[in-house]
Chain A
């Protein structure tokens, strides 16, 4: 049997692109194409609409607009959007770390130089690496075994831990990683000190029926979320001592995208239809609050800055990144956000409040990485 036949065996036999689906595409693109009468709207009407829009926008904006203090555009040669979407900015070294199919790379905008940090055996490392100025950690699959690879970036020494295959994401803060290590016997959240190799159990999921929803690390804290039937429980630990510092329970929608910043655990609550609502858990009090925002599909928060992939309306097919300041439990647009030509995707704040975004470009010079410091 040849490969095409084997591949075909795994494919549903009646999977075709039907006339009904084609018609739906035609209707969608027709709806997106501006109708003729709109194209020839009198100039005065256009100006009037623009003026009203401007006035509405002005009334919504702060009279003293917040500033973007730093903005850098980077095009990394021969690098595609999928690599940039997972890239990490390391402020201490002013470098962008990104992955390609054959290894992990560093790009320094100041000297416009690419350096290959490590070669990897499988593309798996692209999806599972964590990095800061001192450490680069990635998973790989070598000689039929999963490995965890730990590069000390100060000494250049790589330590390979064989048969290590944590579930979920590798999370790195300072000198330790945080991960979910599950076997048939136990489901444990652990930290590993990368200097000593010591492993500490932070949290054990004791009820096998519970769903482990998310985990995050930051500000010396680790948060684990479990859901049993309709009850969601947040466990927050001090990663150094392992002490439980907060526990909060409630009935919440499903949770997407969780991160710790400024003594808060930020998350996106999601309805069954996928509609998102930005929320945070106050680590001191254990209370959860929601933040009023425009419709969005992705969020990232640092300090009092919020970046959202804003959709024009619920269910819209596309989104674009916009930056806001957090004022109480509402957000206000940052009026000086850089104007870029194409759509921005995958906003992510890093240490020092640097925001990374990727400007999509399918055919013209490749995607552009934008680094912004509000």
Chain B
């Protein structure tokens, strides 16, 4: 009986396989929305607008990449926005006061993000505390420290040499977008081809089985949280570079955007399932939605209502997809 099922599945052409893919729904939605906007507005498809949308997607998208890892191991990181803010401030101080070379600031800040992400990881993986509570607490701590350090004032200017990371372009593509796509590509490779990546799927899919298979589940969990901190820090410092200022408000609103992007992309909140491509598309969809409301002269206040509605539709589509499978 098993054979029959397999052969019939294989003989069906790949539409079914496409539909089984977590990110299929979002890809269709993104294409449809882009088509709609290019018909309804004159300037959606202009190169200036496209690069603006992509840059907007890059910041939240980078945070969402790290969040995806955490969600896939069955956790959640509420502190990513605040971690981005704190890291951006520390990076800005390192640049302006400690005299670290502008080219080293990005790796330095990523290292700092890795460190504060590791704090979350130590509590969650090491002490087996609930990630929701741990990161709720560190969210407050990171956000509070940002204000303590800055007194609420931005650190500026960061200087022309450093501005290239946020404002520069490579062959017409904004640098943050390039970094976002490269980071995404690396993660796709890590999740698909490395032991660490497969262990993330195993841990999120069935923790007991992972333990029995001799996987060091705590280390994997710890690493996922540390990486989430690193990606948040990367997004934060690139944003500071773009703004030419380390503002205390960097990262506000990124948490929800990051979780939304991951979920839109098919990442399961229960862990074990997710796709980096989906998260990238999810971040793009959010940016296109925001851009679309502006181009169509819809009041900015409606934007959040629309995003919320899109998430609900995405969840419904996902439900149908899983039922039909």
- State yes or no: do A and B come from one complex: no
